[in-house]
Amino acid sequence: MKVPATEKRPLILVTNDDGIEAKGVHELAKMIEDLGDIVVVAPDSPRSSQSSALSVGIPLRLNLIEHYRNISFYRTNGTPVDCVKLSMNQLFDRQPDLLLSGINHGSNSGVSIVYSGTMGAALEGCIIGIPSIGFSLTSHEPDADFSPCREIVRESCKKVLEKGLPPSVCLNINIPAIPRPKGARICRQAQGYWTEEYDHRIDPHGKDYYWLTGRFMNLEPENEDTDEWALAHGYISIVPCTCDQTAYSAIPEINDLTYWRN
């Protein structure tokens, strides 16, 4: 079942969390089809907000559903991170040169990276040493116009294929859903949180259920170096991310808690 790879052409793994039928992943594959051998492995249905979840205790399926020119499409019943791990274990004789996740239907700026299946897959690429990029468009529309993504997708992929990324670093790229973004800005993640609210409803059988709603609370809306500011002002945001969650700046303060030390 191994995918034959041409040594002279880059091998690019593409996944997402919106599922194999989502427009975004197909648009992404088409945008980069001339850059290498493309293998798309995506969930069989939406797996949004799965973060870095793995499927434990259930059998995973992996099926080739389409192949044309140099693009192969596989679907699996797993999560985005399952897609990455299963691909590495079952499909490839060598490590991909690039891992792309997306294009997500909806933003993954700010603290959303913690919950995002799109970025969970990109961070998994970091862990196993593949240069990885997550792409998101700030539109949840199923038939969204992904043309504003084309230039940044192609340019960032070509640059990363040429130069790579620092160890354990991936890119979280969010594109505003406007016809012509003003440009791209290297940013940091905006500080904020989601105000989760659960709407109490009654189903047709008279039983209670709860529907998750909420909105993002930006704690620094005026700070021009954040991804939220960039997107709100028509710029593409590029945030370097890492799977190392150590709070290095807090180490001196934690060291002062001497009762924790031997």
Q: How confident is the model over 53-105, as pLDDT tens digits?
A: 889 889 999 999 999 889 999 999 999 999 999 999 999 989 999 999 999 99
- Residue 236: which H helix or E strand, with range? strand 236-242
Is 134 a residue whose pLDDT tops 70?
yes
Q: How confident is the model over 198-237, as pLDDT tens digits?
A: 889 999 999 999 888 777 777 887 889 999 999 999 999 9
Confidence of residue 261 (pLDDT cuts 50, 70, 90): low
Q: What is the structure's pLDDT at 3?
A: 62
Q: HSE-up of 185 (CA within 13 Å, CB side)? A: 19
Is 6 a residue whose pLDDT tops 80?
no
What are the residues whose beta carbons fall under 8 Å from the beta carbon of 246, sequence distance 6 or more?
none
Q: How confident is the model over 149-188, as pLDDT tens digits?
A: 999 999 999 999 999 999 999 999 999 999 999 999 999 9
Q: Minimal CA–CA distance to 238: which of 184, 191, 176, 192?
A: 184
Is 5 a residue whose pLDDT tops 80?
no
Q: What is the structure's pLDDT at 2?
A: 63
- Residues forming a β-bridge with 188: 226
Distance CA 172, CA 130 (A): 15
- Tokens representing residue 36 in the block: 């290498």
Categorise residue 149: left if φ over 0, alpha if ψ from -120 to 50, beta otherwise.
alpha
Q: What percent of the chain has pLDDT over 70?
A: 95
Q: How confident is the model over 180-190, as pLDDT tens digits?
A: 999 999 999 98
Is 196 a residue whose pLDDT tops 80?
no
With beta carbons less than 8 A apart as the criterion, state whether 87 and 39 touch.
yes
